[in-house]
Structure 1
């Protein structure tokens, strides 16, 4: 893949009329997680979307990252993130997704660092135990953002004693 480092990052708050765009990308996000969380789509063909249904809200926001589509040149969404806890003692990265064609270009790292900087203060970033790629990604981002000012813990998944614990990166 080509490096995305020199390209400017076009990150925008999700507009009221753009939540449908996030909903489409959400299905890709949950599809990717399907192998990690053993998730199946429901009877209507869609994956679980309860978290997404909580947006927008006063203490939550979403972001879309845009790049020119390689075939049309028009803006195309290449990533999204959902942040909660805007009015809490710590923000949480509730969801983070980069489309497969834009991965391994540096875009995800740049997007994550941009969002952490937009919301200064304490952060929590959870990821699933079996999602090795997410673990490597978030540990590298945490080290770049906070040097040694973070810890990683494992916590049981509420109501799911049969699955491995989630990992949580938290600023210290």
Structure 2
């Protein structure tokens, strides 16, 4: 913005120089007319008038060039200002997106933390279930051993019962002999 203001000041100065060159041109023209009216004595004055006219023309041409360059500078400044404004808008949009991304990452982080805690609870529950299964397996092992012991006891009782049956039959046979 400051450059734009300074180019405006330069434009005003160029306008002043252009006015001076136009007045100098008119003065040179008037001097040439007066020199022509003065005749032979005004010849040297005519040379000065011609030089003044040439200088005025050069000043005018220079102001046209400077004005063209100044116009290019002003267009460049305007383009720069527009690009800067666009960059500021993009930066603001980028910041907004960055803030949104930051919030999203925080939310994801919180959810991951929740999932980690849930996973830890699942692992603890699984460990407890494994201990329970091991206890059930131990109880089943005890039941199997008890069943085997019961089966062995049942076989012993069966064998003893068979022995008792044989003894009872032998006693009955002896008792039959002594019966009269």
State the TM-score, normalized to the length of structure 1: 0.15
Which is strand-richer, 1 or 2? 1
State the TM-score, normalized to the length of structure 2: 0.14
Which is helix-richer, 1 or 2? 2
